[in-house]
Amino acid sequence: MKRLFLPLIAAVVCALIFARAAGADTSPVPAASPNLATIMGRYTQALGGRDLLSKITTQVSVFSFTIAGHTMVVTTTTKAPTFYLQVVAPEGGGVKLTTGFNGKLAWLQDQSGVVHLLAGQRRAELITDAVAANSSEIFSDRWPTIVSLKPSETIDGKLYYVVNVAPKAGIPHDMLIDTHTFQPMMDRSVEPDATSISTVDAFGAGPLGELYPTSLTTTRSDGFPTITSTMRTVKDDVPVANSLFSPPASQGTETI
């Protein structure tokens, strides 16, 4: 599942601004839970099928959300196996923050143009986002990822299969999968300072017919404002050079 809430996004939004739930479901509970292989197979099929998903080697998506009266635009570019670039900027232009992963280096370019090489927790968060955006839970050859089945959970009266996704050098997170449609309805990440939950409000179809979230709501346990992100556009198989994902030249580089 593409983790569109992104653990780094809270810090990104705050920097930009200050530089200038599911209802009750009465559906019957399945009599017995299927095994992990069955769940992941049905999950993959719900997204569009392994063959179709393997054809999406690059993707550019644009989402927007409003916070504290500011409309922010999030543009994410991915390329298999693990390349990732995300730009967050105010609507209409202005200061922006860019994060990227080229398969080795995780980096952030701040609003002043300085590039920061990420280490520790921040690097792990970005790797998690990058490999999830490239579906490593399905294509483990893209990035070493361990997938395991946890006990099912009932939230707001609805039962979900819980699949834990643990990417190498990343942060484990849970996908909560609808027991009837096998669509990924929530993504939950437990971090040292907060728990983040991203819930899909609505799905649509991507350019090749793949299942794609068109609206997501993200909540955090640390009191950060709830954010609802709405998809504007998504494009598949856009020509993208590998060099786009490497740290750009800047007036300074440091590790944080």
Q: How does residue 179 score in pLDDT terms, banded at 50, 70 and 90?
A: very high
Six token digits for residue 60: 């550019």
Instruction: Determine the pLDDT at residue 33.
Output: 77
Question: Is residue 106 pLDDT above 60, yes or no?
Answer: yes
Give mean pLDDT, residues 48-70: 97
Mean pLDDT of 12-18: 51
- Pick 22 or 35 by higher pLDDT: 35
Mean of the per-residue pLDDT values of the chain: 89
Give per-residue pLDDT as tens, 150-169.
999 999 999 999 999 999 99
Do 76 and 245 contact (CB within 8 A), yes or no?
A: no
How is residue 247 written in tokens? Answer: 């740290």
User: If DSSP codes are grouped into helix, strand and coil, which group holds residue 51?
Assistant: helix
Q: How confident is the model at residue 192 (pLDDT cuts 50, 70, 90)?
A: confident
Residue closest to 229 by CA, chosen among 207, 212, 206: 212
Half-sphere exposure of 77 (CA within 13 A, CB side): 17
* Secondary structure letter of residue 251 according to DSSP: S
Residue from 85, 115, 125 nearest 101 by CA: 85
Q: Which domains does the chain have, with CATH numbers?
A: 9-255 (2.50.20.10)
Average pLDDT for 71-77: 98
pLDDT of 201-231, one tens digit each?
999 999 999 999 999 999 999 999 999 999 9
Query: CA-to-CA distance for 116 and 158, rounded, in angstroms?
Result: 42
Q: How confident is the model at residue 87 (pLDDT cuts 50, 70, 90)?
A: very high
